[in-house]
Structure 1
Amino acid sequence: MAWAYLILAGLFECGWAIGLKYADGWTRLVPSLLTVAAMAVSFWLLSVAMKSIPVGTAYAVWTGIGTIGVAVLGMILFDEPRDIMRILCLLMIVAGIAGLKIFSPA
């Protein structure tokens, strides 16, 4: 169950990172409130996952999910570059996350 919490925490991290863009420097009320809510949920889920997943593994996976998700959403939502080297780098992060899951004692 801890890994499910960790994955959800990473997805909420994507939500709040993208939310920061839409909050426009905290000048837009609804996106700002949604961003803060996503932050709270993300941190709570991360803390629950860390009860049984080692802190280094949990934090690396959480940030990795956020990194990949925000980079992909940036390509989709904000027309950020989609060149092959960026995609290969993201795939290396995916490989690292998979390795941490495979070799984690939790």
Structure 2
Amino acid sequence: MPYLLLALAIVSEVTATLSLRASEGLSKAGPSVVVVVGYLVSFFLMAKALTSLNVGPVYAIWSALGTVGAFVGGVMLFGEPARPMTIVGAGIVVAGVVVMSLGGGISHQ
């Protein structure tokens, strides 16, 4: 269950971040509401996941997958460029999280 909460927190954070872009500097009401609600939901869900998972790996997963999700969403929704070095950078971010997670200790003992 904590991993499902974390996954939903990531989806919520990515949605909020992409809505931040769509809000045009928080000048559009609809996307601006999605930003606020999305981040609140994301932090709430991550806080719930942290009741049984350790903060270091969870935050690494949340931030890395949020970063990659925002990158992919920006490319797909806003036509932002996906340059080779940017793709390599996204891969490095994911690799870092994998290495950190392989170190163990993601769940409370």
Tell me the C-alpha RMSD between the 2 structures: 1.5
Following the alignment from structure 1 to structure 2, what is the Cα–Cα distance between the partners of residues 43 and 59?
A: 11
Q: Which moved more, 1:89-98 or 1:40-49?
A: 89-98
CA shift, 1:45, in A, is 0.7
* AA at the equivalent of 1:100: M
* AA at the equivalent of 1:6: L
Unmatched runs of 5 consecutive residues or more in structure 1? none
CA shift, 1:100, in A, is 3.1
1:30 alignment counterpart: 30
Q: Percent identity?
A: 33
1:59 alignment counterpart: 59
> Number of matched residues?
106
Unmatched runs of 5 consecutive residues or more in structure 2? none
Q: TM-score, normalised by structure 1?
A: 0.88
CA shift, 1:20, in A, is 0.7
Q: TM-score, normalised by structure 2?
A: 0.86
CA shift, 1:97, in A, is 2.2
Matches within 5 A, 1:7-26: 7-26=7-26
* AA at the equivalent of 2:32: S
1:17-60 deviation digits (Å, cap 9, x = unpaired)? 11111122222111111221111110001101111221121111
1:97 alignment counterpart: 97
Following the alignment from structure 2 to structure 1, what is the Cα–Cα distance between the partners of residues 86 and 22?
A: 23
* AA at the equivalent of 1:43: F
